[in-house]
Amino acid sequence: MARICSQCGKGPQTGHNVSHANNRTNRRWYPNLQTVRVLRDGAVRRVRVCTQCIKSNRVVKAPKAAAAS
């Protein structure tokens, strides 16, 4: 599964680890993705979105299911 936010499209960024001797090795920074239940087109779906999309209310979380009894 790709590490991409389904709402904004944010994905990994690349750069270098830099040691004290100024040696550079490749590394990646990953977005903070969370799996949330979202209302999309009238249906409840599980999608991976970044925390910035959750905090800024770009996604509408699905209401909690009522307890069956």
Q: Is the pLDDT assigned to residue 69 strictly greater than 60?
A: no
Report the number of distinct structural domains present in the chain.
1
| Residue 67 maps to a domain | no
Q: What is the CATH number of the domain that holds 32?
A: 2.30.170.40
What pLDDT sits at residue 4? 96
What pLDDT sits at residue 67? 60
Residue pair 53/7 in contact by the 8 Å Cβ criterion: yes
Q: Is the pLDDT assigned to residue 1 strictly greater than 60?
A: yes
15-55 pLDDT, tens per residue? 999 999 999 999 999 999 999 999 988 889 999 999 999 99
Average pLDDT over residues 58-63: 90
What pLDDT sits at residue 65? 73
Pairing mode, strands 13-18 and 24-29: antiparallel
C-alpha distance from residue 6 to each of 2, 11, 13, 30, 51 (Å): 10, 10, 16, 14, 12
**Domain span holding position 53:** 1-62
